[in-house]
Amino acid sequence: MALQDQRVVVMGGTSGIGLATAKAVRALGAEIVVTGRDDAKLRAATDELGAGATASRVDSTRGAIEPHVRWD
């Protein structure tokens, strides 16, 4: 299944199953937006995922969504 020209949001995509999911979906060609609460982990995840990956700081326990963050 190709996911070219698609954008996928992975909640909790900075580690564990979330990061593994983000990697798998990225390998299929999708752009990835990973969410998480920790800036350092968000940066590390987007660095690991490479081009086509961005991050958004989200604390889903509080429903607070920060502005979209892109580290290039």
pLDDT confidence of residue 69? 55
Query: In the prediction, which pLDDT does 66 show?
Result: 58
The model's pTM: 0.80
Say whether pLDDT at 15 is over 80.
Answer: yes
The confidence score (pLDDT) of residue 58 equals 83
- The CA–CA distances, whole Å, from 18 to 10, 15 equal 6, 6
- CB-CB contact of 49 with 24 (8 Å): no
Out of 22-31, 35-44, 51-60, least confident range: 51-60
Cα distances from 34 to residues 11, 22, 47, in angstroms, run 6, 7, 11
Spatial CB neighbours of 62, under 8 Å, sequence gap ≥ 6: none
Give dist(CA 49, CA 61) in Å, integer: 25
Mean pLDDT of 54-71: 70
